Amino acid sequence: MNIELIIAEGVVKAVKALYDLDTEVSAVQIQQTRKEFEGNLTVVVFPYLKASHKAPEATALEIGAWLEENIEAISAFNAVKGFLNLSVSPKFWLSQLHDIAENETFGITPVTDDSELVMVEYSSPNTNKPLHLGHVRNNLLGYSLSRILEANGKRVVKTNIVNDRGIHICKSMLAWQKWGNGATPESTGKKGDHLIGDFYVEFDKHYKDEVRSLMEQGLGKEEAEAQSPLMLEAREMLRRWEANDPEVRELWQMMNGWVYAGFDETYRRLGVGFDKIYYESDTYLEGKDLVLGGMEKGLMYRKEDGSVWADLTADGLDHKLLLRSDGTSVYMTQDIGTAKLRYQDYPIDKMIYVVGNEQNYHFQVLALLLDRLGFKWGKDLTHFSYGMVELPEGKMKSREGTVVDADDLIDTMISQAREASADRFKDMDEAEAAEIARIVGLGALKYFLLKVDPRKNMLFNPKESIDFNGNTGPFLQYTYARIRSVCRKASEELASCSYAEAVPNDKECALIQKVADFPSVVIEAGKSYSPALIANYCYDLAKEYNQFYHDFSILREEDPATRCLRLNLSAVVARTLKSGVALLGMEMPERM
């Protein structure tokens, strides 16, 4: 049984026996004992002072004495004001190690057929450009969150909505028609998403030239932008697309096909995936129908210019455009249609959208509209709002071609991992060295982006992420590989030895306690939607193990029971590290 639960139940019995006070296990406050005090866990006793009629320290000492006498796991206690510090017996930690070692899925709650069904949407790319650093953080957060929710026993559907229609798509299509000269991924040797992204940048360059020329002729900036022939052509192409013009649709399908092939390759390299992909081109008409149906029911209204709006002023917001005057859809309309299709496909209990914090208002509105339209989970949808990734040079801009491309980033990380690990690869063949460089490079990228509180903006520095001594992915991977090396050297002994007679020292007890914390960290990460909690737990565990490894001999320990204890403890730490980083989408190399 979990030691926190044992203590909590003990405190409930103690205050009943001592003070005739009834309380709940969930109300008992337990925390890690601070390093400057002796003990493993600390109980906060201030809530019991009214019943004890005694000073905080006296109350803590009374409860501590009762627990020591009545709970076998408690070996000693001390009080600091209203904080009761409890020492857990080495014998209990030994039994904990045995139980953890026996449980191959320690910390992971199994998914059952009647588990809550959660849908997580992430990625949401546009088909006019390749994935960039911002998409990388989005994908890694969404995939990690999905893994964490699954580890908490949820059934999870990982989903993606591809923004494959709209004026931005038409810009790339028009630029290809004008300046592409029939270019294809095969003829240029470029990934399809990169090729289309080049034409998006090309459109913007010519468009800015046109606007500049019109302004030189005396037009204001807004007027010049509105009268740009290139932009007018793009808008006409969008109108023809919505009218199902065969020529425009054929071009659209061809170019999108190139992009999807490119996206799939990037997703594979990142190690992320989806159970279901939706496309805006399929969902926006569903959204239009729902909006028009809502208007007939008086839930929305039409203005004189023909546009359709929702009045959200009663909810403290404003009026929201849902259909333009020409009948074309906005993003909100698409999201409403996508929600309908998803609800038809899956009996969703919870919907989570992984989207940057610049869209906070959008999801406030979406929740209200879905609720108004009758989706039972609408008002309770969760916007997993995360901060932006910035670079030392500043923000990224897709139209200007200044983004950090995802594929280039992956290549850079692998190359830097290969360079930083050159000495470690000397006795490996090329295939193994390349594979370990891939694992380390991607591990560095994933860990660096996920260890930060997702709600915060962050600065990404590739060089800082590959450091074998800091709070990095490679540090965790090296610790794991080090442990696996120790276990391989003693594999026969590890399989048959016994540590039943061993008496773990304080450092070993602390390490077992750290491993035992894993399930509660997984639960808290699931509740708070924070991969950062998993990342930083793994770092703390690796740091604790490395200190233990430095202070105590393992393979050279002469006492058989103690050596066996340390081998088994090492194996459990390695397994827990691997389970933990797997929730971040990271892999572990068996050697480095």
Q: What is the pLDDT of residues 483-492, one digit of tens each?
A: 999 999 999 9
pLDDT at 166: 87
Say if residues 353 and 363 touch (Cβ distance below 8 Å): yes
- Averaged pLDDT score across all residues of the chain: 94
pLDDT at 399: 44
CA-closest candidate to residue 271, choices 86, 413, 169, 459: 413
Q: Return the sign of the alpha-carbon dihedral for residues 179, 182, 184, 187.
A: negative
Q: How many CB atoms lie within 10 A of CB 177?
A: 13
SS3 state at 401: coil
Tell me which residues of the chain have a pLDDT lower than 50.
395-401
| Residue-range domains of the chain with CATH | 3-88 (3.30.1360.70), 406-582 (1.10.730.10)
Burial call 291-322: b when 16+ CB within 10 Å, e when fewer: beebbeeebbeeeeeebbbbebeeeeeeebeb
Token pair recorded at residue 394: 């500043």
Say if residues 564 and 577 touch (Cβ distance below 8 Å): no
Q: Return the sign of the alpha-carbon dihedral for residues 273, 274, 278, 280.
A: negative
pLDDT at 402: 53
Q: How far is CA 103 from each of CA 40, 91, 523, 580, rounded to the nearest angstrom?
A: 23, 19, 17, 15
Rg of the chain in Å (alpha carbons) = 29
Q: Distance between alpha carbon 528 and the CA centroid of its chain, in Å? A: 11
Transcribe 491-553 into DSSP letters. HHHHHH---TT----HHHHHHHHHHHTHHHHHHHHHHHT-HHHHHHHHHHHHHHHHHHHHHS-
Token pair recorded at residue 499: 């540590």
- Angle, CA 563 vertex, CA 562 and CA 564 arms, to 5°: 90
Q: Whole-prediction pTM value?
A: 0.92
Q: How far is CA 378 from each of CA 189, 322, 382, 571, rounded to the nearest angstrom?
A: 45, 17, 9, 45
- Using a pLDDT cut of 90, give the percent of the chain over it: 86
Token pair recorded at residue 250: 């054929």
